[in-house]
């Protein structure tokens, strides 16, 4: 597939940037018109199909022809046909329109591209812009005993925000993340004149957990990670597998008042309390703490969430 950064046609690229600006300003009609012009010039440019779908969806939501929802779905499907690895995260848009079954799994290609691009400004935007306090919430929720953890896994470690907050309670810290850009930032961090992480693993979390030996860790951490995970049961099963009996898991989740897991309009997954409890039990984990906590802000408002501390039951 050609690079998604350019269509290969200078005029098409220029019109695509104009279409992006229209969409950002809420001019869905203008965005749709320009996206169609881009596709006349570069019909295999997947980002333009995605933008056209978003513009048509916006028009339908504003009271225009309801048939535009179906037209939006066709545009999304065209983007996915061009980019079957779904590096643009198109499946989430299709499911929101009622196309497909169940919750979409965010493709590794999409998550990797998203966070590689985000890495240089990640910490400033998350902490300063969104008031992110997930790592501190996790630290505060962990019990004081044991005082130290011999081996800890920081799942979705990103640039190392979680590791920085808990390094003083961990003897050996491994970070796992899908994004090479994020891992480069984490690798550059130090703690008391030594690398912050003893080991860094690049890869999909589910695959990385499956590759690790059973009962190899005393603590698993996942701060602001489950907002990208549709299958909570599989994730918690992976944690249960690598924790030693009595080992702890500490995670943050975005919550909702319904049932199960849902994909919100913000493109993030939220998990209901009862679903967390049921899936934890199925993974051999008991809940020690499940407390309300606002982890970050969106649009100036706190996002409802939970901090959950889990313990691996005896083998």
| pLDDT number for residue 1 | 35
Which of 77, 101, 125 is at the close of a domain?
101
Q: What is the DSSP string of 259-292?
A: SSEEE-TTS-EEE-HHHHHHHHHHTTEEEEEEEE
The predicted model scores a pTM of 0.76
Whether the Cβ atoms of residue 159 and residue 181 lie closer than 8 Å to each other: no
Q: Model confidence at 104, in pLDDT bands (50, 70, 90)?
A: low
| Res 51 pLDDT > 90 | yes
Grade residue 3 by pLDDT with cuts at 50, 70 and 90: very low
Distances (CA, A) of 10 to 5, 168, 229: 12, 52, 37
CATH of the domain at 22: 1.25.40.10
**In a shared domain, residues 185 and 40:** no
Residue 107 inside a domain? The answer is no
Say if 108 falls within a structural domain.
no
Whether residue 59 is found in the same domain as residue 94 = yes
**Taking all residues of the chain, what is their mean pLDDT, rounded to a whole number?**
90
The pLDDT-based confidence of 195 (bands split at 50, 70, 90) is: very high
- Helix (H) / strand (E) containing 29: helix 28-41
Q: Examine the fold and report which residue of 67, 101, 135 is the final residue of a domain before the chain moves on.
A: 101
122 and 97 part of one domain: no
Same domain, 52 and 125: no
Instruction: Identify which of 167, 151, 115, 117 has the alpha carbon closest to the alpha carbon of residue 247.
Output: 151
The residue among 52, 48, 54, 55 whose CA lies nearest residue 9 is 48
Query: What CATH number is attached to the domain comprising 140?
Result: 3.40.50.150
Residue 5 in any domain: the answer is: no
Task: Write the CA distances from 24 to 19, 58, 63, 264, 274, integer angstroms.
Answer: 9, 11, 19, 20, 37
What residues contact residue 229 under an 8 Å CB cut-off, 6+ apart? 205, 235, 269
Check whether 211 has a pLDDT greater than 90.
yes
Same domain for 278 and 302, yes or no, is: yes
Instruction: Check whether residue 146 and residue 87 sit in a common domain.
Output: no
Which of 244, 225, 226 shows the shortest CA–CA distance to 285?
Answer: 244
pLDDT at 117: 78
174 and 36 part of one domain = no
Q: How many domains does the chain have?
A: 2
Higher-confidence residue: 296 or 136?
Answer: 136
- Residue 122 and residue 82 share a domain: no
From the CB of residue 73, how many other CB atoms can be counted at a distance below 10 Å?
A: 20
Do 204 and 96 belong to one domain?
no
Range of the domain at 46: 10-101
The answer to whether residues 121 and 95 touch, using CB atoms and an 8 Å cutoff, is no
């Amino acid at each position: 597939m050609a690079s998604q950064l350019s269509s290969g046609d200078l005029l098409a690229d220029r019109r695509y940037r104009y279409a992006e600006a229209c969409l950002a300003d809420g001019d869905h009609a203008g965005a749709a018109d320009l996206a169609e012009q881009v596709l006349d010039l570069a019909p295999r440019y997947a980002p333009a199909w995605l933008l056209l779908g978003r513009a048509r969806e916006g028009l339908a939501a504003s009271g225009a022809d309801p048939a535009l929802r179906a037209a939006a779905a066709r545009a999304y499907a065209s983007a996915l046909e061009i980019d079957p690895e779904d590096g643009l995260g198109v499946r989430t848009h299709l499911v929101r329109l009622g196309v497909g079954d169940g919750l979409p799994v965010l493709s590794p290609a999409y998550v990797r591209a998203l966070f590689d691009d985000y890495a240089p400004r990640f910490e400033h935007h998350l902490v300063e812009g969104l008031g992110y306090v997930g790592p501190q919430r996790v630290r505060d929720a962990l019990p004081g005993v044991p005082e130290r953890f011999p081996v800890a896994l920081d799942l979705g470690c990103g640039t190392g925000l979680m590791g920085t907050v808990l390094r003083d309670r961990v003897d050996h810290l491994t970070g796992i993340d899908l994004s090479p850009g994020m891992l480069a930032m984490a690798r550059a961090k130090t703690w008391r004149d030594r690398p912050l992480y003893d080991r860094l693993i690049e890869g999909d979390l589910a695959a990385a957990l499956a590759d690790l030996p059973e009962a190899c860790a005393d603590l698993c951490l996942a701060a602001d990670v489950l907002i990208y995970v549709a299958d909570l049961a599989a994730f918690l099963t992976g944690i249960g597998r690598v924790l030693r009996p009595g080992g702890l898991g500490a995670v943050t989740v975005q919550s909702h008042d319904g049932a199960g897991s849902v994909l919100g309009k913000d493109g993030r997954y939220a998990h209901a309390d009862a679903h967390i409890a049921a899936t934890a039990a199925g993974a051999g984990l008991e809940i020690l703490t499940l407390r309300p906590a606002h982890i970050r802000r969106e649009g100036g408002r706190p996002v409802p969430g939970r901090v959950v501390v889990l313990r691996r039951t005896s083998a």
